[in-house]
């Protein structure tokens, strides 16, 4: 991190130095030929949905994560929705999430037929308050979706404890 900070916008003082959100021109200069060749290959074969590149990505990402499988999907919304379905969420259930998130989190819950229930945030960091989430649990609660925001991780240990105490799984929304 220190190296990134020291090299990002070196003309700025340390107090005002920022890390660019994304530098497409630099990325193109560094990876342009490789990216163009990859896109051209996919377009030439005419097979991008469930094609060999997707299979290779899934295999390599699973290995990177140290798990048996990974599934590429179109969006973070799809990823959260599919994870909720895999966790057993059904129409009529309630799923707790944070009141401070993009609409996509609640949409993923709604796509399962469940109702989003919004927990308060901790004012010190703006992330879901595990105590608020735990207080909202009812007999209709089948999952909790904490959302990592702005590069800040939620208190995963707190949600692991809630799962251990209640049996209610949590699905981490890491798409932001």
pLDDT digits (tens, 9 = 90+) for 87-112: 999 999 999 999 999 999 999 999 99
Same domain, yes or no: 114 and 156:
yes
Expressed as residue numbers, the domain containing 107 is: 76-166
Domain tally, the chain = 2
Among 156, 157, 158, smallest CA distance to 172 is for 156
3-state class percentages of the chain: helix first, strand second, coil last, to nearest 5: 45, 10, 45
CA distance 7 to 18: 10
Q: Residue 85 domain-assigned?
A: yes
Domain with residue 107: its CATH number is: 3.40.640.10
51 has a pLDDT exceeding 90: no
Q: Residue 56 domain-assigned?
A: yes
Lowest mean pLDDT among 5-9, 25-29, 53-57, 84-88: 5-9
Yes or no: say if 8 and 20 are a contact pair by the CB < 8 Å rule: yes
Same domain, yes or no: 95 and 149:
yes
Q: Residue 90 domain-assigned?
A: yes
Q: Which letter does DSSP use for residue 15 in this model?
A: T
Same domain, yes or no: 90 and 141:
yes
| Amino acid 4: pLDDT | 43
Same domain, yes or no: 52 and 88:
no
Same domain, yes or no: 157 and 138:
yes
Same domain, yes or no: 33 and 82:
no
* Res. 11 pLDDT band, cuts 50 70 90: low
Yes or no: say if 93 and 115 are a contact pair by the CB < 8 Å rule: yes
6 has a pLDDT exceeding 60: no
1 has a pLDDT exceeding 50: no
Q: Is 46 left (phi over 0), alpha (psi -120 to 50) or beta?
A: left
Among 175, 99, 173, 97, smallest CA distance to 142 is for 97
């Amino acid at each position: 991190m220190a190296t990134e900070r020291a090299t990002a916008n070196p003309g700025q003082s340390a107090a005002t130095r920022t890390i660019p959100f994304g530098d497409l021109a630099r990325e193109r200069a560094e990876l342009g030929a490789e990216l163009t060749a990859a896109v051209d290959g996919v377009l030439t074969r005419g097979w991008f949905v469930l094609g060999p590149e997707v299979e290779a990505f899934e295999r390599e990402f699973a290995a990177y994560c140290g798990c048996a499988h990974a599934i590429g999907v179109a969006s973070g919304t799809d990823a959260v929705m599919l994870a909720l379905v895999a966790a057993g969420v059904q129409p009529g259930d309630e799923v707790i999430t944070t009141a401070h998130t993009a609409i996509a989190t609640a949409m993923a819950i709604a796509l399962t037929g469940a109702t989003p229930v919004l927990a308060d945030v901790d004012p010190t960091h703006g992330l879901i308050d595990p105590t608020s989430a735990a207080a909202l649990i009812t007999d209709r609660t089948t999952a909790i979706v904490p959302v990592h925001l702005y590069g800040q991780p939620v208190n995963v240990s707190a949600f692991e404890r809630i799962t251990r105490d209640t049996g209610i799984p949590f699905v981490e929304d890491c798409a932001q």
